[in-house]
Structure 1
Amino acid sequence: MSQNHTAGRLKKRPQFLRVAGKGRKVATPGMVVQMLQDDSQPDSRVGFTVTKKVGNSVIRNRTKRRLREALRLVAREDGLPSGDFVLIGRDGTRRREFSLLQDDLRKALRKGLEK
């Protein structure tokens, strides 16, 4: 993976739908990662989402904060490849041990980048 540390944000629904429709999806116990490689784009862009099935707004926001922090630490250590990424929180995301959550993210990124 490249050593790119800067990551923009995906905020609009069409951006999320583009990654979901054209990208790859990797499911782990702690999260689902959707990724769309785009070598013409120099920076990475990341979006976070958690469905209402996971819980109320407090729980969903806590889950997103855990995903953001895991991504921040993994990107700092391993770098983040260029492209668009969507991290989807699962019910187990908030209960999963944080080091395992980081491992899930690393594993998903590696698997998603394999051809």
Structure 2
Amino acid sequence: MPIGVERLKKRSDFLRVASVRRKWAAPGLVLQAACVPADQNDGRVRVGFTVTKKVGNSVVRNRVKRRLRAVAQNLIPGNAVPGWDYVLIGRHTTIKRDFKDLQTDLLTALNKVTLTQNKKNRSQS
């Protein structure tokens, strides 16, 4: 991942992002997002990837994660809000979905999950 984007690796981070309940489901992926607490916020974007066993065996799950990492590497640095954590969840359709459609899904999801936060920031200014 490029500079400024780190990986989520700890289970506690994944659970914290899921507990915020800010998510968007697209045909190719599900995106969960959470703002980093103020005391830990250093302006970086962190991204985690997960795929359940329902999607397939380990070969299929790893392929789905590779596709999600590729999409995230292309789009997260320029489109994500600094100081946020994101979790990309693979779906059954991720493996067969066209790469351009996956990119569109991620861009739409990024806009939707951070839209209300951006509106709050604009109203406070």
Fold conserved between structures, TM > 0.5:
yes
Say whether the 8 Å CA contact 1:5–1:79 is kept in structure 2.
no
Match for residue 111 of structure 1? 112
1:32 and 2:33 aligned: no
Which has more radius of gyration?
2
Q: 1 CA distance for matches of 2:74 and 2:60?
A: 21
The question of whether the paired residues in 1 share the 8 Å contact of 2:79 and 2:107 is answered with no
- Distance in 1, matches of 2:81 and 2:56, equals 31
> 1:63, 1:94 within 8 Å by CA — same for their partners in 2?
yes
Q: In structure 2, what is the Cα distance between the partners aligned to 1:90 and 1:35?
A: 17
Aligned partner of 1:14 in structure 2 is: 12
1:96 match: secondary structure: coil
Report SS of the residue matched to 2:59: helix
- Point out 4+ residue stretches in structure 1 off by more than 4 angstroms: none
Q: 1:1-115 alignment to 2 at 5 Å?
A: 6-38=4-36, 40=38, 41=41, 42-76=43-77, 78-82=78-82, 83-115=84-116
Report the Cα distance in structure 2 between the residues aligned to 1:107 and 1:59, rounded to whole angstroms: 25
Structure 1: runs of 5+ lacking an equivalent = none
What is the TM-score of this pair, normalised by structure 1?
Answer: 0.90
Contact 1:16 1:47 in 2 (8 A): yes
Q: Residues of 2 paired with 1:18 and 1:103: CA distance?
A: 26
How well do the aligned residues superpose, as a CA RMSD in angstroms?
Answer: 1.6
> Helix, strand or coil for the counterpart of 2:56?
coil
Q: Which moved more, 1:78-87 or 1:45-54?
A: 78-87
